[in-house]
Amino acid sequence: MIFTPLFNLKLSILDRRGFQLKNIKLKVVATRENKKIEKFVDTQAVFSLPPGTYKINAYSVDDLISSKKLDVTKDEKDYLLTTEDPFFPFLIEVFALISAIVTVAFFLLKIISFKILLKLVVFISIVVALVLPWWGLYGSSSKYSIERECNAYLIPSNIVTITKFRNNPAGELSNIPQEFNVFLLAIITITLLGGFLGVISILIRKHRKIRLTVLFIGLIILTVSAGIYVFAMNELFKVGLGGLQGSSTLNIENPFTGEYVNVHASWGLSIGFYILCFAISLMSISTFLEFLRFRSVKIKLK
């Protein structure tokens, strides 16, 4: 009598940014040699499977949102990264849009000055920038029906790659060293600090010199944050891609067939970073206006 061992496979279900997927029912199917096991799950799928190679598919209603090939040889934990969009960034973007509209309305109604408008828009822009990708890669091949998209996020600190092989979207998280995660957390902290200093300067009404100093420090912090990010990411991508920005032909393996195909791709800084640059530009204008005001008052006092 032969007994086939069963191993527990625990799969965390993630959205397209690497957040734990919640409040959504999915069908997860493990397939091997035309035999299927189905589970209806929300945050985690647990299978007891005999050893072998399995294709794991996740469906939202009837849409295939994740596909992965796994070799089961022991009890293990893994993840399924899906194409589902998270709600958190959308909520932040809507809040930022409403805040921007209200801020502009206050300016048009002459409730706030142009300088205050600039400082508030700077902070709103920074908040939006932090939830958008700061770096991205895109490549495709119509010949092989392959499309690859890679995005680097600060919140959460992930580099996420989703490759569609015909109708099979396969997602993966890059293995980022823990030290690099600490660095990204520092980028988030100092970027927010730079934005907060702009807002704090609004509250400093009587002391123009202090207000100008606070604004200038905020501008320096934001500029340093952008510079450090560019330098660090360039060093990170030197090995695999040759640098922070560029284009080339990538040799991509199809995990479902084992074939390697050439896909032309381009990569570089993405929308989140450019919004940060926009915020830095507005902060520069605001600082310059404060400097002109400070100088004119100083001349009058003489």
Domain boundaries defined on the chain:
7-81, 87-301
Low-confidence ranges of the chain (pLDDT < 50): 1
Structure tokens at 208: 């123009």
Q: Does this model's pTM top 0.95?
A: no
pLDDT of residue 34: 84
Amino acid of residue 133: P
List, as one string, the DSSP characters of 98-132. Answer: HHHHHHHHHHHTTSS-HHHHHHHHHHHHHHHHHHS
Q: How far apart are CA 134 and CA 275, in angstroms?
A: 9
pLDDT of residue 228: 93
CA nearest neighbour of 243 among 222, 263, 269, 264: 269
Q: How far apart are CA 118 and CA 287, in angstroms?
A: 10
pLDDT of residue 24: 83
Superfamily of domain covering 7-81? Carboxypeptidase-like, regulatory domain (2.60.40.1120)
pLDDT of residue 174: 87
